[in-house]
Structure 1
Amino acid sequence: MSATESDKTVNTTADDNDSGLAAKNPAKRRKTLLIMLLVFVAIGVIWFLLWTLVFSRRETTDNAYVGGNQVAISAQVPGTVVAILADDTQHVDAGQILVKLDSTDASVRLSQARSALAQAVRQVRQQTDSASGSDAAVAARQIDLKKAEADLKRRLPLIAAQAEAPETIQHLRDAVDQASAALTSAQAQASAEHASIEGTDIANNPAVLQARANFRAAWVAAQRNTIYAPVSGYVAQRSVQLGNSVQPGQQLMTVLPLHDLWIDANFKEGQLRHIRIGQPAKIETDIYGSNVEYHGKVIGLGAGTGSVFSLLPAQNATGNWIKVVQRVPVRIALDNQELDKHPLRIGLSSDVTIDITDDRGAVLAPQTEHPAVAETTVYDQMASKADAEADQVISANLSSSGNTGSKHSN
């Protein structure tokens, strides 16, 4: 076979192969396109179902942080720091001593107030005894007047019979006038004596109450040289040092209660359309990751955007204006039992997902009475102890046979 014939044979074979591939490629292409179309349709269906059943029923944000109360511990009276009994990161209980101030001056003022209270009680006792003496004097003057009137009445018939000198009768009339004047003077004196004690007993006399109030203020001031923790929590930001001269209102440290915490989730304004009070929420924090999930509920929406409450609010009325999507803080309460198992710290980052399936709730909190957000009885105990101390001072200075009166109560 010549070379020319061989080339013709090869060309014929190649042409046959190209014709076969051309016949198969359209079918294969259609099959490939159909598979791709089905894949895209399946992806669209899955996305539609996910949006309908999942994504449209929740709002999420990672602009969320743990919030809590920050109780500033400050001095209530001036003084010099002589002891610091709590430091950063330490746990303290409500009523525990945190700082002590020098109490020398306060002790002197308390002693003065105690002496003034005792003196006030004794003065009122003296006024009470003096009033009793004035009453006795009035009774004596009444007897004298009756005697003078009786003498005059008995002598008047004698003058009609000319058995008595007119001068004697005049002397008797003068004696009656003198006795009457003495009675009037005694009654005025008794009235003046009773004016300061009338209508009250010794313990509730205005002078005693004034001295008692001064003693109570001095006692409380002396106690405030010892600074107590108003709530239980952890100490942070301790700035006080030994020897510092502190003034009322000066912050010494902060106590952070880590039990009643919340989440401030900052949602975009477009996400607030279906968020309502009472909706459940799930929270994941960066510190624990997805291994720990907290459950809470929406308890309120902020009254304004963050930019409104910033130090320098945006001036959107200027000519150069660019629209910026605003965010509104949504407060979410956490479960304290979950916090006990996995403690959090104020300011930690978190991811929040709110279930908005039921959007029939209220957007704004109702105008109803709410319990106290936080309260302490530490200072009430201090006041009750001051009253008990004042009662002891009053009782010690009341006479055993006199009017002991009733103890004062606030």
Structure 2
Amino acid sequence: MAAQDSPNQTSLPRRLIVGSLVAIAILALAVWFIAPGSVSTNDAQIDGHIHPLNARVSGTIVWVNPIVDDTHFVKAGTVLARLDSNDYEPTVDRLQGDVQSTEAQLSSAKLNVDISEATSVSRLSVAKAAVDEAQAEKDTAEAQSLAAAAAVTQSNAVFKRAEDDRKRYLALFESHEISQSEYDQRATEAATAEAQLRAAEANLSAARQHIASAAQRITERKSDVLAAQTAPQQIASARANVLRVNGDLRKTKASLKDAVLNLSYTEIVAPVDGVIGRKQIEVGQRISAGSLILTLTPPDEIWAIANFKETQLQRMKIGQTATIHIDSSGEDLSGTVESLGGATGAKYALLPPENATGNYVKVVQRVPVRVRISSGRQRTSLVPGMSIEVRVDTRL
């Protein structure tokens, strides 16, 4: 009979089989609980806000804060540099004067409206009364003219008789038939009559001029009546003038506000806390509006951007926890998936791929995933651009 196997020889293969099954089970559990439960990538970096600070007006730099230099930290509100304000102060002064002048014009225009409204009722009656007064003055002047004309006729007759008497007496005097005194008396009477004639003619001329002047005043007063009848239109015109001047005032104030803002922009102030980078200003430098002065990087406004393969996004969703490994320090930080990219990284490229050329090669694309770094941790040593590794737990 063949010899029987010993118990030790039969139990050894059984143990090997059991051990292999246990190892397979452990490996299966590891694959089940670990591999499908997380995804990771080393195509990731720290990202953050980088604020470019541009000049808002052109000018010459007259002062730069001594603390302004690359890698230096500044607080929000710190004056970084100043431009020469002499380029903008005269404009502000001129526009302030324009505003005051236009305000005075507006006050005058409003007062004119009040005056027009207050006098619109009485102006017509006053104008009509002035016409009647001018007509009465003309009638008086015409009566005076008639009286003056009669006086001229009478004075002319007296003068002719006196002049004829003087001429006869002159002949008698020359023939020595009368004395010198008798002739002188007739000559005096003739001269007096002539003076009275000239005075009567002057009165007639003045009366006629008075008639013409009265007629001119009647025409003027009638024009006043017509003007008084257009009082509603004048009031409307005065109100329109108020609107026009008010519009000019608003435009002037807007120009003044713009000039004051430009003057304030000559003082360049840090808008946020941040670390200075790319400083490009020096005293005496002439800069134009829009020129880049420097950049500010707030140390606390940071997050992680991880570029995962599209095949890794099957179970990824917003809110899942993540572990962020910092290459520079070896530190691990916790985080949360905040958002998934709206397109692959290739689509954001300057020249995105065009697959309709017939030479299509399928390449696994990467999608940017934004991870929020948990607050409460020391993050001052993190700066945008640092290399990191990100692992996301996809079991939640």
Corresponding pairs, count: 307
Q: Give the Cα–Cα distance (whole angstroms) in 2 for the partners of residues 182 and 84 of structure 1.
A: 67
Secondary structure of the structure 1 residue equivalent to 2:257: helix
* Contact persistence 2:336–2:374 (CA under 8 A): no
- Does the alignment pair 1:327 with 2:372? no
TM-score (norm 2): 0.68
The code of the aligned residue for 1:312 comes to L
1:281 paired residue among 322, 328, 352:
322
Match of 1:48 in 2: 28
1:117 equivalent in alignment to 2:117: no
Corresponding residue number in structure 2 for 1:381: none
Report if aligned partners of 1:259, 1:339 keep a CA contact under 8 Å in 2: no
| TM-score between the two structures when normalised by the length of structure 1 | 0.66
Matches of 1:144 and 1:261, distance apart in 2: 83
Percent of aligned pairs with the same residue?
28
TM-superposed deviation, 1:206: 1.7
Is 1:98 matched with 2:80? yes
- Which deviations, in whole Å up to 9, do the C-alpha atoms of 1:244-268 show, x marking residues without a partner? 2222222111111121211111111
Indicate how the Cα distance of structure 1 residues 182 and 249 shifts in structure 2: closer, same or farther if over 3 A, else same: closer
C-alpha contact 2:131 2:222 (8 A) present in aligned 1 = no
**Aligned residues: CA RMSD:** 3.3
1:85-128 Cα deviation digits (max 9, x unpaired):
22222222223222222221111211121111111111112222
Given that 1:93 and 1:229 are in contact with CA atoms closer than 8 Å, whether structure 2 keeps it comes out as yes
TM-superposed deviation, 1:325: 2.2
Q: Which residue of 2 aligns with 1:405?
A: none
Aligned to 1:154: none
Match of 2:268 among 227, 245, 251: 227
1:225-264 equivalences in 2 (<5 Å): 225-264=266-305
Q: Choose which of 41, 59, 69 in structure 2 pairs with 1:61.
A: 41
- Tell me, in whole angstroms, the C-alpha distance in 1 between the residues paired with 2:44 and 2:272: 26
Partners of 1:111 and 1:343 in 2: how far apart?
49
Indicate the structure whose relative CO is greater, using CA pairs within 8 Å and at least 6 residues apart: 2
Report which of the two structures shows the higher radius of gyration computed on alpha carbons. Answer: 2
Please give the alpha-carbon distance, in whole angstroms, between the structure 2 residues aligned to 1:79 and 1:37. Answer: 86
1:20-169 to 2 correspondences below 5 Å: 31=12, 40-85=20-65, 86-144=68-126
- Please name the residue that 2:351 is paired with: 312
1:346 is the counterpart of 2:326: no
Unaligned runs of 5+ in 2: 134-214
Distance 1:317 1:30, change over 3 A: farther
Could you tell me how far apart the structure 1 residues matched to 2:58 and 2:234 are?
48
Q: What does the per-residue CA deviation read over 1:274-329, in whole Å, with 9 as the maximum and x for residues that have no partner?
A: 1111212121211231xx43222112111222222223334445565543322111
Partner of residue 237, structure 2: 192
Structure 1 residues 183 and 274 mapped into 2: Cα distance closer, same or farther (>3 Å)? same
Mapped contact 1:277–1:298 kept (Cα < 8 A): yes
**What letter matches 1:230 in structure 2?**
P
| Structure 2 CA distance for partners of 1:314 and 1:111, relative to 1, 3 Å | same
SS in structure 2 of the partner of residue 336 of structure 1: coil
